[in-house]
A and B are shown apart, each in its own frame.
Chain A
Amino acid sequence: MEKLKRYAKNNPMAVVMVVLLVLGVLLPLFLNKAYVLSILCMTVYVAGCSLAWSILGGMIGQISLGHGAFAAIGAYIGTVFITYFNTSPWIAMAVSFVVVGATITLLMTPCFGLKGAYFSLTTIAFGEAFRNIFTNWEYVGAGQGMMLPLVRAKDESLWMLAFRSKASYYYVGLVLLVVFYLIVKWIDGSKLGYALKTIREDEGTAEAIGIKPIKYKLIATFISTGMVSVMGVFYATYIRYISPELMLQSKSLEFVLPAVIGGISTVEGPVLGSLIIVPLSQYLNSALGSKLPGSNLVVYALILIVVVLFRPSGLLGWWQEQRQKKRIAAEKAELGEEGKEQVNG
């Protein structure tokens, strides 16, 4: 018990995440309304994508603005697997992780010499190019997109990810999100994570101490784009309709904003950010969308602007800074007193 208390004091974030998880599991039991569940589904989807994005955007500092398109490719792979091959989306997830990860990594390889905003520009270019190709590709429904058949009672199965209730989708998404979180948390504390963060802080230093920037950037891109495409497969089975609209640049921003608001360089930031922003924007969309279309986006943008201006490191980043400051102040005070005692003695 004593041990547990100390652990909680040292890792308050872990406690918060466990509490959130318990709440997340229990919530649908009490609030079993389709509207609430659809918000929850979108929240876990965006949180998962945002987490995947943060490997590239947060840990290594390469701001990708093409993740919407990469997730959409995953969604396309999932839909094609179900409609044309009648294969499970779980298999599609594995396939899209490897295929999307490898393809994007291959495409990005020549672009890693580019710094800062230039890198973001190439990711925009890739996203737009993919959108153009998919808009004209007859096999995947061209501009109209593809539709999965509505689920009938006898078709329900976990293997094919076809449910009639939104709660089941929500739990599948939640499991994916937890897995993603554990992966990112593990990377964050592993040698790989430290290598990535070293590259973010100073590429020259990283190279000097034997960390090859290109190698680690490739690994990060592979994991990040692969993971986001897995989330895309989940999205396709849940919404059951996909179109090239999914590849719009604004969709990529939807994954970036939660991470920015929550704290770009923390693992929990993207999750907390999506918990705040997605329900809010979904609520505003349904409350104001019919009266004043677009007003939900106004609020969304205002929140982002306020956070970037006043808490540039995000809510969690700011909280961590405060904690660190307090600790340093406490240590200083302690040292100061010791120093005085020595003088007196």
Chain B
Amino acid sequence: MNFNVIFQAIVNGLMIGGIYSLIGMSLTIIFGVMKVINFCQGELLMLGMYCTYVLNSKLGMDPFLAIPIVAVIMFLFGVLLQSLLITRSIRDGDDDTNVLFLTAGLGILFSSSMQVIFGTNYRSVESHFANQTVSIAGAALSVNRLISFLILIALTVLLFLFLKKTRIGKQIRATSQNRTGASVCGIQAKLVYACTYGLGAAIAGVAGACLMTYYYVFPNVGSVYGTRSFIVVTIGTLGNIVGGFFGGLVLGCLETLGALVVTSAYKETLVYVCFVIILVVKQRLQAKRRA
């Protein structure tokens, strides 16, 4: 195993990790505010992919140009979803079992209705940069992946500016720190919840649009990325956005580097075993700190 192979694996890992980061951040932002794990995050990404597909095939729009439109559509969709359905289910306070079932049910609903509309065929889009590659320090990578990665960086910066500078961003942070305190200060929890969920859905949609440029879409594509997003947020601590960002990159590298060690057939097992170990060790450390 020479250095070049490892370097290529790391670069590939970062590119895959970019998508994981995006979906991980979207999941973690929702958890931070509402304290519920959204089990249909992968399906939201899938919806974003189909959105891009429709914009591309019907209007001939380049997937990268479609990103803002996809983001707006997904934001509105997320706001609707939260204010119509999910709010009703989180009234019980600390018991989150029902939200788990509800979001899992929504996940099935999304993927099966896409199956009804588009069928189970794999679909891809035509992009301006398809099949073009650049080489960076001896590692080859496709232009689409590179642009997606740059979008990830830009989006993360924007997200931080949004949370730090804007009024609603500050309200979101306040609610995630202390729900009661925030509502005492006159912050409307309902509005913040809806915005947060919309934001999460929009980021997942953007991740889907980026993924669409070099991958294909089918109704069950979300389940893989949904499961990955859980791992990402666990690596980076639930509710911590910076953690989600780096967690995604770490997971991407873990996958590609792990594939070199255990052959690519067993890389999934490696990822899941690492996930359980990280989860358990973290929990033990926390318990010790408390004791």
Q: Which residues of A contact B (CB under 8 A)?
A: 61, 63, 110-111, 113-114, 116-118, 120-122, 124-126, 128-129, 132-133, 135-136, 248-250, 253, 256-257, 260, 264, 292-298, 300-302, 304-305, 308-309, 312
Contacts and interface: CB of A to CB of B under 8 A. Distances in A.
B265 A136 contact: yes
A61 B96 CA distance: 11
Given A113-B280, A126-B272, A308-B101, A298 B230 contact: no
Contacts of B275: 121-122, 125
Contacts of A300: 108, 112
27 contacts: A63-B97, A110-B280, A113-B287, A114-B279, A125-B275, A128-B227, A129-B268, A129-B269, A132-B268, A133-B266, A136-B265, A136-B266, A256-B104, A293-B116, A293-B120, A294-B114, A294-B116, A295-B112, A295-B116, A297-B108, A297-B109, A298-B109, A301-B106, A301-B112, A305-B106, A308-B98, A309-B102
B109 A301 contact: yes
Contact of A121 (B104, B115, B279): B279
B37 to A, nearest CB: 4
Contacts of B287: 113
Nearest to A143: B265
A292 B104 CA distance: 22
Nearest to B98: A312
A254 to B, nearest CB: 10
Contacts of B105: 257, 301, 304-305, 308
A153 to B, nearest CB: 38
Interface residues of B, number: 44
Nearest to A297: B112
Contact of B101 (A116, A122, A260, A294): A260
Contacts of A302: 109
Contacts of B283: 113-114, 118
Given A132-B272, A305-B105, 9 more contacts: A114-B283, A132-B265, A136-B265, A250-B108, A264-B97, A300-B112, A305-B106, A305-B109, A312-B98
Nearest to A125: B272
A297 B115 contact: yes
A324 B100 CA distance: 27
Interface string B262-287: 00011011001101100110011001
| The 9 residue pairs across chains A and B that have the minimum distance between CB atoms | A294-B115, A297-B112, A301-B109, A304-B105, A132-B268, A129-B272, A301-B108, A125-B272, A117-B37
B223 interface: yes
Contacts of B230: 121, 124
Interface string B81-97: 00001001100100011
A295 B272 CA distance: 32
A63 to B, nearest CB: 6
Contacts of A292: 116
B119 interface: yes
Contacts of A249: 223, 227
B268 A111 contact: no
A111 B156 CA distance: 32
B89 A293 contact: no
B234 interface: yes
A126 B272 CA distance: 7
Contacts of B266: 132-133, 136
